[in-house]
Amino acid sequence: MSNEAMGQKGDILLEMKDMVIDGYSDDRWHEIVKGVDITLRRGEVMGLIGESGAGKSTLGLAAMGFARPGCRLTSGSIIFDGIDLMKASAEERRALRGSRIAYVAQSAAASSNPAHQLIEQTVESTVRKGIKPEEEAKADARKLYADLQLPNPDYIGDRYPHQVSGGQLQRVMTAMAMSPRPDLIIFDEPTTALDVTTQVEVLASMRRIVEQYNTAAIYITHDLAVVAQMADTIKVLRYGETIEDADTRSMLSNPSKEYTKSLWSVRSIDKPEDESEDIILKVDHVDASYTGSAKVLDDITIEVPRGHTVAIVGESGSGKSTAARAITGLLPPSKGQILFNGKALPPTLKERSVDQLQKIQMIYQMADTAMNPRHTVRDIIG
């Protein structure tokens, strides 16, 4: 049954009342979401915004009747299209997820299966739940790839997750969520990994699909530009509580709370004076490629003066992360060399000295996939 047949635009689809969610830490339970209300109508997009730890993602997952490990839905009500998710059985909630309620996670790398082709993962839920036959679902997936500005949409689904860039993989995950044409989509910062140009196109595609299929959406983000483009209404959270909510135009033009105003303010960074101009890092005419793939870096030269920050900017798949991997020794260059403090670095990680490893560090795009889940944060840092 299509969304249009299930309800009319403007009908209330999701209503959460006085939601309290606890998290377990320091050997006891703490309230991390404190009495929050949400009312979402069909065809409406609500933006959830706030700083890290405000409870945005926890609340978004609760809209699916789900609490992540270490959390519990303590009290309140969650009514989805007349179904009380707090009282529904686990089987009833599972039946809704991946069909009528979809979730797009922030970390596509952690959400994808490295052993399966992208097209198979995109259509899996749609086919297994009997929403569409496989070939029809795959044809629709390719159309979604094109709508989401993915390159070679007829063939990119034949690749595996490691064979596409982070931004491309994030868009594939968005196509996966959209495949069954759900009533509600939870977007958990899905455009964080995209370059600005692609982000604008992807957001426009998301918005078109939401409107076309009378879908409701909760869009979780910290990016005000995204909220302005995507959301009809905005709810600002801090420390698990609602600070302010209003329609997007009113919120952007005239926020009433000081905390909201602080989110809207523009911050500048003063440029340090008397910076040294000696070159600490030089990428000298470097080529690089992955096994069995075309050349990703072609005669790249980068110079980083001491005390400076050099930004590498480009579209998704242009080679930005590949350059970083070559610099850190994770991917040996096929041509050229990398110099640090005027001395050529060994091309591979295992050939570099402890001192070289300490002085060149990488902060990864997705922290959750970069850290060992078996170690505590203290052990990882120390």
Query: Any long-range contacts for 64-67 (C-beta under 8 Å, 24+ apart)?
Result: 64/93, 64/96, 64/97, 64/101, 64/103, 64/186, 65/93, 65/96, 66/93, 66/97, 67/21
Helices (H), 45-162: 56-62, 90-96, 108-111, 118-128, 134-147
Q: pLDDT band at residue 226, thresholds of 50, 70 and 90? A: confident
**CA–CA distance from 376 to each of 88, 360, 382 (Å)?**
35, 23, 10
Range with lowest mean pLDDT among 9-13, 175-179, 254-258: 9-13
- What is the layout of strands, in order, in the sheet containing 279-289? 295-305, 279-289, 335-340, 343-344
Q: Is the pTM of this model over 0.75?
A: no
pLDDT value, residue 2: 44
| pLDDT over threshold 90, residue 141 | yes
Residue type, 325: R
Q: Does residue 175 contact residue 207 with C-beta atoms inside 8 Å?
A: no
pLDDT value, residue 273: 55
Q: What confidence tens digit (pLDDT) does each residue in 267-287 have? A: 445 555 555 569 999 999 999
What does the domain layout of the chain look like in residue ranges?
3-264, 279-376
pLDDT value, residue 5: 44
Strands 216-221 vs 45-49: parallel, antiparallel or unpaired: parallel
Q: Return d(Cα 324, Cα 330) in angstroms, integer.
A: 9
Instruction: Quickly count: other Cβ atoms within 10 Å of residue 279's Cβ.
Output: 15
Query: Can you name the CATH fold of 279-376?
Result: Rossmann fold (3.40.50)
More confident residue, 118 or 276: 118
| pLDDT over threshold 60, residue 3 | no
Kindly state which CATH superfamily the domain 3-264 is placed in: P-loop containing nucleotide triphosphate hydrolases (3.40.50.300)
Q: Determine what percent of the chain is predicted with pLDDT higher than 90.
A: 56
Q: Determine what percent of the chain is predicted with pLDDT higher than 70.
A: 93
Q: What confidence tens digit (pLDDT) does each residue in 166-212 have? A: 778 888 988 999 899 999 999 998 877 666 777 777 788 788 877 87
What does 249-281 look like in DSSP terms, one character per residue?
A: HHHHH---SHHHHHHHS----PPPSS---SEEE
Q: Does residue 187 contact residue 108 with C-beta atoms inside 8 Å?
A: no
* Identical fold between 3-264 and 279-376: yes
